[in-house]
Chain A
Amino acid sequence: DTGVSQNPRHKITKRGQNVTFRCDPISEHNRLYWYRQTLGQGPEFLTYFQNEAQLEKSRLLSDRFSAERPKGSFSTLEIQRTEQGDSAMYLCASSSGLGYAAPLHFGNGTRLTVT
């Protein structure tokens, strides 16, 4: 068990470019969450997968954002036509399906800076 892994750790991009982040959850975890965190704030929910199915999507997630988990293992989060307001830490977390009280495990995040 190597924990939740996110890549890259840092991404600097120019406004208007597309970026893609990857999350590898703990291998036996079927639930995967994406969050966004800005300075001084707690994480904000973006979207949630159970296996390969995207079950919930926050209204914060504009149509420039898309997430996939094609085989129910790793997930990608893509932001198209990035804006400066997209600059934030993007966090991935996973948990097992053993009831609603399963612990949540976080990755170290991908810090996005849009210039």
Chain B
Amino acid sequence: KNEVEQSPQNLTAQEGEFITINCSYSVGISALHWLQQHPGGGIVSLFMLSSGKKKHGRLIATINIQEKHSSLHITASHPRDSAVYICAVRSGNQFYFGTGTSLTVIP
């Protein structure tokens, strides 16, 4: 069993839809990261959070430490949001990664 589980694995949405990607983890963490990876591109850090909620533009990330669960929401989705979204948790000196959620937003 992986330390970090993401769902769904693949997601297709129409432009403008509200999108939710979920992440559950099984280890004790000091921080959780949401990362974005475009095809052939590098990885960009979207959020780092250890409690509560953060918002940046159309992106919102929440975390529930007691339930060991985090969600990434995208409001008013756009085709340029199409990418792989990866949840990563920091536990001690190590980072554990989910397998990613591949998002395609159709115009």
Contact = CB atoms under 8 A, between A and B. Distances in A.
B79 to A, nearest CB: 22
Interface residues of B, number: 24
A95 B79 CA distance: 31
Contacts of B98: 42
A113 to B, nearest CB: 14
Contacts of B86: 42-43
B31 A45 contact: no
B88 interface: yes
A91 B88 CA distance: 14
B94 A48 contact: yes
Interface of A: 33, 35, 40-45, 48, 50, 55-56, 91, 93, 100-101, 103-109
A101 B48 CA distance: 8
7 contacts: A41-B99, A42-B99, A48-B93, A48-B94, A104-B45, A104-B90, A108-B42
A107 B97 CA distance: 16
Given A40-B99, A42-B86, A42-B100, A109 B42 contact: yes
A103 B94 contact: no
B90 A105 contact: no
Interface in B60-101: 86, 88, 90, 92-100
B48 A45 contact: no
B96 A45 contact: yes
Given A100-B90, A103-B45, A106-B45, A42 B97 contact: yes
B11 to A, nearest CB: 15
B30 A101 contact: yes
Interface in B20-44: 30-31, 33, 35, 41-44
Contacts of A55: 93
